[in-house]
Chain A
């Protein structure tokens, strides 16, 4: 069931709340609403968890081979040799 209009207004503010950008008074009111509204509580919890999961598992790094090829393209390959010598 979609949340009520009043809930929608609170849900619009959860990102600001999570980022520490919501005014103090509104934070207290939002917390109060979350304590009283199980649906919004779920949306809040799972939004926070979504962000946590992406922070932990969502990163993509350049593969080691890509780094070496980049050094070559930029004529820095001798530095790669220095690295392997320093290991």
Chain B
């Protein structure tokens, strides 16, 4: 088993932090294996490109390791890293798409996608059936279509399984805002998947 991966499961958060502060290089590797996938995932879902996600991955760890003294241990180490990654990705997104509305502003209910319209019950289709329908690309496309502010909450809460409090900390918003955005994201995704399955089943 790789050295860093072996360390990943064994060290407590406090021990890992001590090791990092001592400059233990295996601890740096362990942090990459503990938090790297989610850092990459956040950047990829915000920017939509593997190359840019990798840039953010590198910038995040470079910045974090250079500024370890700023980490006060109030949040989990990974949470701190995700926050850095999110801010770096967001800055880049704003440079790329300056017209993007501020991600922190309340979301106006300008589209009515959260009002359920598609009432086909596809919940119990067998998994093979769903997979046959190029599920992954459908899921990708649906999540890409969400506003960035909803997308990030959904991926951190539902896909990565972080707590409401952690997501609030990463995005710098209230826990109530996390809950509201999560609910809206779920309903919008449900609507898009429902539309897809309705067409798919009608076409047979």
Q: Given contacts A16-B179, A46-B193, are A54 and B143 in contact (CB under 8 A)?
A: yes
Closest to B6 in A: A86
Q: Apart from A47-B187, A60-B37, what are 15 other A-B pairs with CB-CB below 8 Å?
A: A2-B115, A3-B115, A14-B183, A16-B183, A19-B179, A43-B119, A46-B193, A53-B139, A53-B193, A54-B158, A59-B159, A63-B50, A66-B40, A66-B57, A79-B4
Asked if A61 is at the interface (CB within 8 A of a chain B CB), the reply is: yes
- What DSSP secondary structure best describes chain A's contact surface? helix
> Residues of A contacting B190 with CB < 8 Å?
43, 46-47, 50
| Interface size grouping (class) on chain A | 35 or more
A13, chain B: closest CB distance, angstroms: 9
Q: How many A-B residue pairs have CB under 8 A?
A: 134
A59-74 at interface with B (beta carbon < 8 Å): 59-63, 66-67, 69-71, 73-74
User: Interface residues of B, CB < 8 Å — how many?
Assistant: 54
The 5 A-B residue pairs with the shortest CB-CB distance in the complex, in nearest-first order = A45-B123, A62-B40, A15-B183, A83-B2, A49-B123
Chain A to chain B contacts (Cβ below 8 Å), 8 pairs: A11-B187, A15-B179, A57-B139, A58-B158, A58-B159, A70-B32, A71-B32, A79-B3
Q: Given contacts A42-B121, A45-B121, A51-B158, are A60 and B193 in contact (CB under 8 A)?
A: no
